Amino acid sequence: MTETTRFNLPQSEIPRAWYNVQADLPRPLPPVLHPATRQPVGPDDLAPLFPMALIMQEVSRERYIEIPDEVREIYKLWRPTPLIRARRLELALDTPAHIYFKYEGVSPSGSHKLNTAVAQAYYNKQEGVQALTTETGAGQWGTALSQACNFFGLECTVYMVKVSYEQKPYRRVMIQSFGAQVYASPSDTTQAGRAILEQSPDSTGSLGIAISEAVEAAATSGGRSKYALGSVLNHVLMHQTVIGEEALKQLEMAGEYPDVVIGCAGGGSNFAGLALPFLRQNLTEGRKTRIIAVEPEACPSLTRGRYAYDYGDAIGLAPLVKMYTLGHEFVPPPLHAGGLRYHGMASIVSELYDQKLIEAVAVPQLESFDAAVRFLRAEGIVPGPEPSHAIAQVVREAQAAKEAGEKRVILFNLSGHGYFDMSAYEAFLSGKLDNYRFPEAAVDSAMAQLPVVD
């Protein structure tokens, strides 16, 4: 076994196609429903929001979708990303487990989000769109889309969840530096935002609210602008599979194959990006890799939500999607893992969990930051608060391997760095953070507000 720590692929090995898991699902995804008619949506229903190329990808059952040359050329700015064996963390944990992580924080935006932002900006540009609107939680997605729009000469407007807008000013500045307009959401620039502020003037916002604002802004632009989403949708998860496809080749270089694959999950994009190619190996080649989605206890859509039809936004403008949800009116507490504060889970991830093809766990905030500090002190990289939840599960799995006296190969996605999140680390190190478990009564209340679908 080589003592190599870092496994790099040449740029010639950047994947040439995205993997579409819909081709291999044991049962197809439930249809997406129109919010007014409650009937399955067609391409014409989605055309005001998305370019037709992405609409076709959303419903495609083709196993592989070719990556355009223009997109691969921009991918060369950071792809392939490294696969790193966390040998120092293994020593710190005194575990027989072999721990590997795919490091997406080397992208220009500092996270995995640019993988789909570049693709979405490209397809919109190809269809003559002039501008894109979007929401962002912690700011990684807004950063990525502002960069991608800059690459392709598109205008960009970002509705940033207010608590993150205030907690992470340098994310906001980075978005603005790429030429995008940023609003704290809820804002007074949209009807949806004004309605929320009228009810709750001190609202800290949510991804659902920000989505409502971004969707409204696109839908009322007279066709000049389209909407872009950084997670949840099928085509978004598919664009992220470059992560797992590269990891498969890199682990082959290392002479290993994972027993466990782990990713944090809010909407599902970074988790799916790493996990879906390994799930394909389970489904088509009989592999038995455990695949674990890790979410915060404060926003536990998979572990405590209901698998039901719900709106993708807070106001009810977006289509109805069957997903594990805490209810579209859910407003999360202002925990620092802003990218995991969405009320629902991607349809694909929800269906995989419902079919028991993946596992899900919820991790408290303090445990995630404790794991992050252990990781950064061993490996020298400051992880974002979001992937710190995955690291917490890695620590659990490594300790289980130690207790069993077994070598296990653990792979996780370090989906982004935390260098814009030092205020969160300051709060943790000074003892100002608390654990927060979403109350059962709040879950019950939210479930009562789910739309009725026959």
Same-domain check for residues 202 and 260: no
pLDDT for the residue 1 = 41
Average confidence (pLDDT) over 307-325? 87
Assess contact for 148 and 131: CB atoms under 8 A: no
Percent of the chain at pLDDT exceeding 70: 97
CATH number reported for the structural domain that contains residue 163 in this entry: 3.40.50.1100
Q: How far does CA 91 lie from the centroid of its chain?
A: 30
pLDDT for the residue 334 = 60
Assess contact for 185 and 193: CB atoms under 8 A: yes
H or E element that contains 307: strand 306-311
Residue 122 lies in a domain: yes
Largest CA distance in the chain: 63
305's tokens: 């939500």
pLDDT for the residue 53 = 97
6-7 and 83-85 strand pairing? antiparallel
Checking 440-446 for CB contacts under 8 A at 24+ apart, the result is: 443/304, 443/305, 443/326, 445/327, 446/326, 446/327, 446/329, 446/330, 446/343
Same-domain check for residues 91 and 34: no
pLDDT for the residue 208 = 81
pLDDT for the residue 359 = 98
* Phi, psi (deg, nearest 5) at residue 334: -80, 55
For residues 82 and 163, the model is more confident at 82
Average confidence (pLDDT) over 283-311? 94
* Phi, psi (deg, nearest 5) at residue 185: -110, 130
For residues 214 and 204, the model is more confident at 214
Residue 121 lies in a domain: yes
The answer on pLDDT for 2 being more than 60 is no
Residue 287 lies in a domain: yes
Assess contact for 421 and 168: CB atoms under 8 A: yes
Sorting pLDDT into bands at 50, 70 and 90, what band is 338?
low
Same-domain check for residues 205 and 297: no
Same-domain check for residues 302 and 377: yes
pLDDT for the residue 442 = 79
H or E element that contains 226: strand 225-227
For residues 338 and 317, the model is more confident at 317
Checking 432-435 for CB contacts under 8 A at 24+ apart, the result is: 433/336, 433/365, 433/366, 433/369, 434/365, 434/366, 435/297, 435/364, 435/365, 435/366, 435/367
Same-domain check for residues 347 and 403: yes
* Residue where one domain finishes, among candidates 200, 234, 268: 234
Average pLDDT of the chain is 93
pLDDT for the residue 404 = 97
The answer on pLDDT for 114 being more than 90 is yes
Residue 73 lies in a domain: no
Assess contact for 155 and 124: CB atoms under 8 A: no
| Placement of tokens 């709106």 in the chain | 311
Same-domain check for residues 215 and 258: no
Going along 326-378, which residue ranges are E strands? 359-363
pLDDT for the residue 451 = 86
For residues 164 and 49, the model is more confident at 49
Average confidence (pLDDT) over 322-344? 75
d(CA 203, CA 314): 13
Specify the DSSP class assigned to residue 423: H
The answer on pLDDT for 418 being more than 70 is yes
Residue 286 lies in a domain: yes
Same-domain check for residues 26 and 48: yes
Same-domain check for residues 336 and 279: yes
The answer on pLDDT for 315 being more than 90 is no
Same-domain check for residues 266 and 413: yes
Residue (of 373, 407, 372, 417) closest to 391 by Cα position: 372
Tell me the sheet residues that pair with 33.
40, 320
User: What Rg do the C-alpha atoms of the chain give, in angstroms?
Assistant: 20
Average confidence (pLDDT) over 216-241? 94
Sorting pLDDT into bands at 50, 70 and 90, what band is 337?
low
The neighbour count for residue 82, using CB atoms within 10 Å, is: 18
Residue (of 99, 113, 140, 89) closest to 412 by Cα position: 99
Percent of the chain at pLDDT exceeding 90: 80
Same-domain check for residues 216 and 286: no
* Residue where one domain finishes, among candidates 181, 214, 234: 234
| Placement of tokens 């992405």 in the chain | 54
Q: Is residue 359 classed exposed, middle or buried when 0-12, 13-18 and 19+ CB atoms within 10 A define those classes? A: middle
Same-domain check for residues 213 and 311: no
Which tens digit of pLDDT belongs to each residue from 55-103? 999 999 999 999 999 999 999 999 999 999 999 999 999 999 999 999 9
Which tens digit of pLDDT belongs to each residue from 238-279? 999 999 999 999 999 999 999 999 999 999 999 999 999 999
Task: Please list, in sequence order, all residues whose beta carbon lies within 8 angstroms of the beta carbon of residue 412, skipping any fewer than 6 positions away.
Answer: 99, 100, 101, 102, 261, 262, 263, 274, 387, 390, 391, 393, 394
The neighbour count for residue 199, using CB atoms within 10 Å, is: 9
* Residue where one domain finishes, among candidates 234, 259, 289: 234
Residue 173 lies in a domain: yes
The neighbour count for residue 355, using CB atoms within 10 Å, is: 11
Residue range of the domain that includes 366:
6-13+78-110+241-447
Tally of domains within the chain: 2
Residue 453 lies in a domain: no
Same-domain check for residues 245 and 367: yes
Residue 281 lies in a domain: yes
pLDDT for the residue 335 = 56
The answer on pLDDT for 310 being more than 50 is yes
Average confidence (pLDDT) over 144-156? 98
pLDDT for the residue 312 = 80
The answer on pLDDT for 311 being more than 90 is no
Whole-prediction pTM value?
0.94
d(CA 243, CA 245): 6
The answer on pLDDT for 332 being more than 70 is no
d(CA 259, CA 410): 6
d(CA 234, CA 108): 24
Assess contact for 274 and 247: CB atoms under 8 A: yes
In order, the DSSP letters of 123-179 are: HHHHTT--EEEEEESSSHHHHHHHHHHHHHT-EEEEEEEHHHHHH-HHHHHHHHHTT
